[in-house]
Amino acid sequence: MLSNPSRGNAQRDEAMNQHANPQSISQQADELEEHMMHELERVVSKSTLHYLADGEVKMDSSAGLWAKHPGAVFNMGPDPRLPPMPAKPTLVDYFRCRFASHAHLLQSATHALKAGHNEKVILACLLHDIGVVSFIRCDHGYWGAQMIEPYVDEEVSWAVRTHQALRFFPDEAAGYKYPEMYIKLFGDDYRPEPYIVAEYERAKNHKWYMTSRLICVNDIYSFDPNAKVNLDDFVDIIGRNFRQPEEGLGLDSSPSSHMWRTMMWPNRFL
């Protein structure tokens, strides 16, 4: 019934090899899931949120899963299909192993670095969309701010939260026009919801308004394939401005550590 550790390692190696061969990731992930379910008898379950995003209001119940996989036990640890995380993960490990894309964040931070902004602004640009690349799109500014709040200066998390609203409102004096890309993405009749308008009104006269506005100014809406960006360029800035917990990010007891753990072990049964 229980997983064999050497087999688990072999599966992790296989999982890593998949990343060297992106065309077969989906197919091999399915095969690994089969291994987990039928050979290791560890069943992975999906949270309600995964189903909601597919337009279904449903959940994986133990009874339903046992009907399909009699006698199986449920996964309560790492998913061998995902890149393995170190014992004490850092923010950089999440960038490398869990964030689905870096390019936009690195381009925005590089833009801010070249413009000569201070490290709080650069860090805010580097982290402004981590909600999108690692967790969830809807209200990504709020999620992203909550994830980093215990570990960064309050000004940085405030700026990340507030860019959710400011990006919908131009400030041409500060160098920010309403993005053409938003017309393409949302149509020319999209109007922000009242809670976003209210957030913008509160932010307008706030002492950190410009920090958040600079996220918008440095936001790059079209990916430049020729731009050279590298996470290594920001490791020192992260080191000076992100309070890495000793136990590992997600294994500490901050108010948002559970969010990082969820990214690390996204299909633990509980």
Query: Minimal distance in Å, beta carbon 266 to Fe ion?
Result: 22
For Fe ion, how many residues bind (rule: CB under 5 A)?
A: 2
Structure tokens at 58: 């449903």
Strand pairing category for 73-74 and 42-43: parallel
- Which C-beta is closer to Fe ion: that of 74 or that of 158? 158
- Which C-beta is closer to Fe ion: that of 160 or that of 238? 160
Query: Minimal distance in Å, beta carbon 238 to Fe ion?
Result: 18
What is the CB-side half-sphere exposure of residue 82 using CA atoms within 13 A? Answer: 21
Contacts 24+ apart (CB under 8 A), 254-257: 254/150, 254/151, 255/149, 255/150, 256/146, 256/147, 256/148, 256/149, 256/150, 257/150
Query: Minimal distance in Å, beta carbon 167 to Fe ion?
Result: 6
Distance of CA 60 to the CA centre of its chain: 24
Q: What residues from 203 to 222 belong to the interface with Fe ion (CB under 5 A)?
A: 219
**Contact flag: residue 199 with Fe ion (CB under 5 A):** no
Q: What residues from 4 to 43 belong to the interface with Fe ion (CB under 5 A)?
A: none
| Helix (H) / strand (E) containing 113 | helix 103-114
Query: Minimal distance in Å, beta carbon 129 to Fe ion?
Result: 4
Q: How far is the C-alpha of 263 from the C-alpha of 260, rounded, in Å? A: 5
- Which C-beta is closer to Fe ion: that of 24 or that of 101? 101
Site mask for Fe ion (CB under 5 A), range 219-238, x = bound: x-------------------
Dihedrals phi, psi of 171, to nearest 5 degrees: -145, 85
Query: Minimal distance in Å, beta carbon 62 to Fe ion?
Result: 38
Q: What is the DSSP string of 30-88?
A: HHHHHIIIIIS-EE----HHHHHHTT------HHHHHHHSTT-EE--S--TTSPPPPSS
- Which C-beta is closer to Fe ion: that of 60 or that of 219? 219
Query: Minimal distance in Å, beta carbon 19 to Fe ion?
Result: 25
Query: Minimal distance in Å, beta carbon 221 to Fe ion?
Result: 8
- Which C-beta is closer to Fe ion: that of 93 or that of 129? 129
- Which C-beta is closer to Fe ion: that of 66 or that of 182? 182
- Which C-beta is closer to Fe ion: that of 74 or that of 176? 176
Q: What residues from 97 to 136 belong to the interface with Fe ion (CB under 5 A)?
A: 129
Beta bridge partners of 171: 176
Structure tokens at 270: 């509980």
Q: Which residues bind Fe ion (CB under 5 A)?
A: 129, 219
